[in-house]
Amino acid sequence: MITALLLAAGKATRLGALRDQYAKACVPIAGTHPLRFAIEQLSAAGVQRIVINLHWKAKQVETEARAAAPTHVQLDFLHEEVLLGTGGTLLAYLDQWAALPDLVMNAKQFSDLPCESVLQAPIGSLVLHHGSSLNTFGGLAYSAANQLVGLVRHKAPANLPAGAVDAAVYTGICRPDPAWIPHLKAGAAQARAKQETLCLARSGFLSAAADGIAVPVYLHNGVWCEISTPDRVQEAESVVHSLAATHSNQSSFGVS
* Residues in a beta bridge with 219: 128
Q: Mean pLDDT across the chain, nearest whole number? A: 92
Average pLDDT (16-26) is 95
d(CA 193, CA 56): 24
Name which of 229, 227, 246 is nearest 33 in CA terms.
227
Element (H, E) at 118: helix 115-118
Taking only the tens place, the pLDDT of each residue in 178-200 is 999 999 999 998 888 888 999 99
How much is the pLDDT for 20?
A: 95
Q: How confident is the model at residue 156 (pLDDT cuts 50, 70, 90)?
A: low
d(CA 71, CA 53): 20
Between 246 and 56, residue with greater pLDDT: 56
Give the CA count within 13 Å in the CB-facing half-sphere of 220.
25
**Would you say residue 249 has pLDDT above 60?**
no
**Buried/exposed code over 128-143 (b: 16+ C-beta within 10 A; e: otherwise):** bbeebebeeebbbbbe
Between 226 and 245, residue with greater pLDDT: 226
**Would you say residue 255 has pLDDT above 80?**
no
Average pLDDT (123-137) is 93
Beta strands in the chain (DSSP E): 3-7, 49-54, 74-79, 103-106, 109-111, 126-129, 139-142, 148-152, 166-174, 217-220, 224-226
* Entry pTM: 0.93
Instruction: Name the DSSP class of 9.
Output: -
Residue 106's φ and ψ, nearest 5 degrees, are -80, 125
Element (H, E) at 245: helix 230-245
How much is the pLDDT for 131?
A: 87
How much is the pLDDT for 234?
A: 93
Domains delineated in the chain: 3-247 (3.90.550.10)
